[in-house]
Amino acid sequence: MDLATYIRALPKAELHLHIEGTLEPEMMFELGRRNGVALPFASVEATRAAYAFQDLQSFLDIYYAGAAVLVREEDFFDLAWAYFRRAAEDGVVHAELFFDPQTHTARGVPFATVLDGLERAAARAREELGISSRLILCFLRHLPEAGAFATLEEARPHLARIHGVGLDSSEAGHPPSEFARVFARCRELGLHAVAHAGEEGPAAYITEALDLLGAERVDHGVRCLEDPALVARLARDQTPLTVCPLSNLKLRVFPTMADHTFKRMLDAGLRVTINSDDPAYFGGYVARNYLETAEGLGLTRKDLATVARNSLLASFVTDEERAPWL
């Protein structure tokens, strides 16, 4: 069996996936036409050609511009259904999807429209593809705390449909501490907590995410190696890290795959997982992330099986739901 086939056959969970980041240029143009939303690019090809990012911010500018074509419930359905079909081909049995409500509500799209479309796709994925899923609402950290609290208020009538909260967008200069109060409220409401930390920001942001936000998983977390005491803590607690290797290359966190710290993190006993982040922008869905990481860093099949198992252990499903996959 070749390596790509082996990887696809591993049952895996995808735990770091922004649904807005699965918007392929073809669908971006189709939805733009459907909704009368003009795009800053002349064609699908010109759009792909613009995906040469310098850093996280240069990506986010394009990512938020693209998301403007998502307007109606069926747009969110089409987006998520396309993702689930793609994920099924990669052996994903469970997905925990991030969504960024502020990106949509700021344009006048009702919160419920976003949720209804995503949920309808999730129900179909469960039924037709056998993929289970959860929705994780992300607060945009470049916006003030008040915006996060307002978003939580909008989410309140729908909390039975939302499993957790996360923190994303521009990391540098926006430490987790700014969102400690809103995360405390979310935890009181029974929501799981995760946060992007240590992608471009320092290891200290990872410590803040754990101590001040109560993050149960760290999204990215690749800069943890800069703090040996933090690595020891993450290893001791088996805190899951949702690493996104192709994202890290596209956003120039590491110059090449050979420079990526994933193998060192795995060898340090950390509960690392591999995920695709924003696959439409970064050149690969989850199986390609596994494959390129394995090829670039010399991961063995046993390593890859450990990583896939880590993803199942790190998911927010119940032990009963998890049992058949392990």
- Active-site residues, by number, are 199
148 touching ligand ADE, by CB under 6 A: no
Rounded CA separation 18/292 (Å): 20
Least CB distance from residue 98 to ligand ADE, whole Å? 7
Binding partner of 21, given Zn ion, ligand ADE, none, CB within 5-8 angstroms per partner class: ligand ADE
71 vs 95, beta carbon nearer Zn ion: 95
- Name the 3-class secondary structure at 278: coil
287 touching ligand ADE, by CB under 6 A: no
10 vs 80, beta carbon nearer ligand ADE: 80
Shortest-Cβ-distance residue relative to Zn ion: 277
Half-sphere exposure of 204 (CA within 13 A, CB side): 6
The answer to whether 220 and 243 are in contact (CB under 8 A) is yes
Least CB distance from residue 244 to Zn ion, whole Å? 6
Positions in the binding site for Zn ion (CB under 5 A): 277
Least CB distance from residue 43 to Zn ion, whole Å? 27
56 touching ligand ADE, by CB under 6 A: yes
32 touching ligand ADE, by CB under 6 A: no
Q: Which two tokens stand for residue 75?
A: 């747009």
* From 19, 21, 131, 312, residue interacting with ligand ADE (rule: CB under 6 A): 21
* From 18, 86, 104, 250, residue interacting with ligand ADE (rule: CB under 6 A): 18
Binding partner of 71, given Zn ion, ligand ADE, none, CB within 5-8 angstroms per partner class: none
Binding partner of 56, given Zn ion, ligand ADE, none, CB within 5-8 angstroms per partner class: ligand ADE
Least CB distance from residue 141 to ligand ADE, whole Å? 8
Angle of helix 301-314 relative to helix 286-297, nearest 10 degrees, comes to 140
Contacts of 14 (CB under 8 A, 6+ apart): 87, 92, 94, 95, 96, 275, 276, 286, 311
Least CB distance from residue 326 to ligand ADE, whole Å? 29
- The phi and psi torsions of 182 (rounded to 5 degrees) equal -70, -35
Rounded CA separation 215/139 (Å): 14
277 touching ligand ADE, by CB under 6 A: yes
Rounded CA separation 135/224 (Å): 26
217 vs 325, beta carbon nearer Zn ion: 217
* From 196, 217, 223, 250, residue interacting with ligand ADE (rule: CB under 6 A): 196
The 12-18 sheet, strands edge to edge: 12-18, 92-99, 132-140, 164-168, 192-197, 217-220, 240-243, 271-274
The residue written with tokens 């924003």 in the block is 278
Rounded CA separation 231/225 (Å): 6
168 touching ligand ADE, by CB under 6 A: yes
Interaction site with ligand ADE (CB under 6 A): 18, 21, 56, 63, 168-169, 196, 199, 247, 277-278
